[in-house]
Structure 1
């Protein structure tokens, strides 16, 4: 009887579409083919064949990397997005800030004192004006 290994964790199993490749791999390989072959045929007549094939290989390499590379279940574009966010978009140092409750209470007390001073100052000014008008 034939033995077929069945993985215990089925979340890692990917469905194969054609030629034992996933849909993502087929798309990336097709894009590599669309970019690499015309480049090879354009350069083959102008330069020697080995240089044209090297240029073709290096132009197809990023597509192969996007198709095949995966780390911790994340494809290459997700890893690159995280790297760019950490390296360039987010701040380098994140200062530790706390909400000092005592400082909040002190600010509020200072504001209350200032408001009280303003209110009493206006009342005393308005009383002075009323007394000045009566004279």
Structure 2
């Protein structure tokens, strides 16, 4: 008796379109083969048949790769779109800045204690100078 394996995750089941390929894979294979053959026949008279094969491969592989490769139910264009967003469109480093309340309190205490002492000394010296001037005047 024959058995059919049923995957546990229903997302892994993809309807087949032509043979073992689904629609997306079939379309990208057709587009890739079409581009490769066009490139081959255009470049064959100028660079020769053996070098035109490399043109065929260079044109066909990226398209076919985009159709066949899938990781975590995400295709290549989704992964590239996210990569471009993270690397180029959005800022690279997001810095979390907080206010240091201890530095703020230290600065306020410094201003209150040290600078007021300086002000008092200036006032005392000013009053002392005024007293000397007044004593000189009244003499």
TM-score (norm: length of structure 1): 0.68
Q: What is the alpha-carbon distance in structure 1 between the residues aligned to residue 27 and residue 97 of structure 2? A: 47
Q: Deviations over 1:58-84 (max 9, x none)?
A: 111111111111111100000000000
Q: What is the alpha-carbon distance in structure 2 between the residues aligned to residue 24 and residue 98 of structure 1? A: 49
Aligned to 2:19, what secondary structure does the other structure show? coil
1:45 maps to 2:45: yes
Aligned to 1:75: 75
1:91 maps to 2:91: yes
Q: What is the alpha-carbon distance in structure 1 between the residues aligned to residue 85 and residue 46 of structure 2? A: 42
- For structure 2, the residue ranges without an aligned partner over 5 or more in a row are 100-139
Give the alignment's Cα RMSD to 1 decimal.
Answer: 1.9
Q: What is the alpha-carbon distance in structure 2 between the residues aligned to residue 14 and residue 84 of structure 1? A: 28
Aligned residue pairs total 101
Aligned to 2:14, what secondary structure does the other structure show? coil
Shift of 1:19: 2.1
Aligned to 1:8, what secondary structure does the other structure show? coil
Aligned to 2:26, what secondary structure does the other structure show? helix
What are the residue-to-residue correspondences of 1:1-135 with 2, within 5 Å?
A: 1-97=1-97
**Deviant stretches of 4+, over 4 Å:** none
Q: What is the alpha-carbon distance in structure 2 between the residues aligned to residue 19 and residue 47 of structure 1? A: 36
Q: Deviations over 1:57-110 (max 9, x none)?
A: 0111111111111111100000000000011011011122569xxxxxxxxxxx
Q: Deviations over 1:97-130 (max 9, x none)?
A: 569xxxxxxxxxxxxxxxxxxxxxxxxxxxxxxx
- For structure 1, the residue ranges without an aligned partner over 5 or more in a row are 100-135
Q: What is the alpha-carbon distance in structure 2 between the residues aligned to residue 97 and residue 16 of structure 1? A: 53
